[in-house]
Structure 1
Amino acid sequence: MTSTATMPRYPYQSLWPQTCRRPIVGFAAWSGTGKTTLLEAVIPRLREAGLRLALVKHAHHAFDVDHPGKDSYQLRKAGADQVLVTSGQRWALMRERQQERDPVLAEEIARLDQDSVDLLLVEGFRNERFPKIELLRETGRDRPPLFHDDDAIIAVATADDQPLETTLPRLSMNDPDGVARFILQEIAGAR
């Protein structure tokens, strides 16, 4: 008999990265499948349900949130390892990595203020182990589905009624209400 003290508080909690203290779900797929588009539609629905959200997005290319000509950009390029830009509305911290390497999800999650959110959303990090919804499109069938080799994929969202042999829950990429409902019930623990 298992005591209630050792049972996970949330579904899939055993898959959470070690630094994670809030429910987490990722959207994993090959590039160009529509992760950002689906997240843009799902996020407002999760907010309407009262959830406070944080998002970690994996960028595969060099990116810059600052722009040439801005003081903060110039100071960072001059050699500042960290630049905090702040205003009455928001703040952003840019920090240079000492060595270029692919980010590790657990390390990135540790940077978040998890006490101020209810749910962590992740775009990308498809090769890391944490609860993920895989997005599949018929047009992307030249690459194999990820769920065959990743037992951390908890559902599959497709763009159409394409045949797919799986026992995983099936979601529609064209139904953001349904995807949000799945997240609320199966990830965030809302009943």
Structure 2
Amino acid sequence: MTSQPVFGIVGWKNSGKTGLTARLVEEFTRRGYRVSTIKHAHHEFDIDKVGADSFRHREAGAHEVAIVSDTRFAIMHELRGDPEPTLEDILARLAPADLVLIEGYKREPVPKIEVRRLDARSREPLAPNDPHVVAIAADHPVSDTSLPVFDLNDTVAIADFICSLPQLAVT
């Protein structure tokens, strides 16, 4: 896998993954870390607008379209029937960072925290069947595990835990 420290945030739909990821980015950035994120989507998405020049380029058949300004750039890569790239492929495209947080990618062999919400308890917990889940963040008491359990909203404690993992070496 990549030489950059990678940590995952996983859970079922509407479990609070995005909220926790955003809070962790804010916390690590506050601490002075350079953080990148990767969000896995299980559905089609588009970051472009119909009618925009870049949209027209893609519609015309461009393989990649880069949009560049003095504040940001984005590269859109059209798969056009090719298989979805692996997490490793995407990590290789990222600039170096102190930490890469990945949201989703439930089945990847990276250290991760499982996010659970009380109203989503009907879903099967992921931790019992995934040796890469190293902790749980929940909005309710969790007693059926030997893993560390954090309050879903205790971002500082979760960030401290992530920094303490020897395989990440986030310093």
Mapped partners of 2:19, 2:101: distance in 1: 14
Is the counterpart of residue 149 in structure 1 residue 125 in structure 2? no
C-alpha separation in 1, matches of 2:31 and 2:43: 34
Q: Residue in 2 aligned with 1:184?
A: 163
Q: What is the CA deviation profile of residues 97-154 of structure 1, one whole-angstrom value per residue up to 9, with x for unaligned ones?
A: 142544421121111122xx11010000012211110011121111111011100011
Q: Give TM-score scaled by structure 2 length.
A: 0.92
- Whole-angstrom distance in 2 between the partners of 1:81 and 1:163: 47
2:24 is matched with which residue? Answer: 42
Aligned-partner SS, 2:129: coil
CA contact (8 A) 1:46 1:184 kept: no
Alpha carbon RMSD of aligned pairs, Å? 1.6
Provide the identity percentage.
36
Contact 2:5 2:170 in 1 (8 A): no
What is the match of residue 164 of structure 1?
143
Matches within 5 A, 1:8-23: 18=1, 20-23=2-5
Letter in 1 for 2:45: F
Q: Report the counterpart of residue 92 of structure 1 in structure 2.
A: 74
Q: Write the deviation string for residues 19-50 of structure 1: whole angstroms up to 9, x where unpaired.
A: x1111100000011011111122211111111
**Please, what TM-score do these two structures have when normalized by structure 1?**
0.83
Contact 2:117 2:138 in 1 (8 A): yes
Quick check: 94-103 or 71-80, which moved more? Answer: 94-103
CA deviation after TM superposition for structure 1 residue 67, in Å: 0.5
Structure 1: how far apart are the matches of 2:163 and 2:5? 10
Q: Identify the residue that residue 55 of structure 1 maps to in structure 2.
A: 37
Per the alignment, in what secondary structure is the counterpart of residue 136 of structure 2? Answer: strand
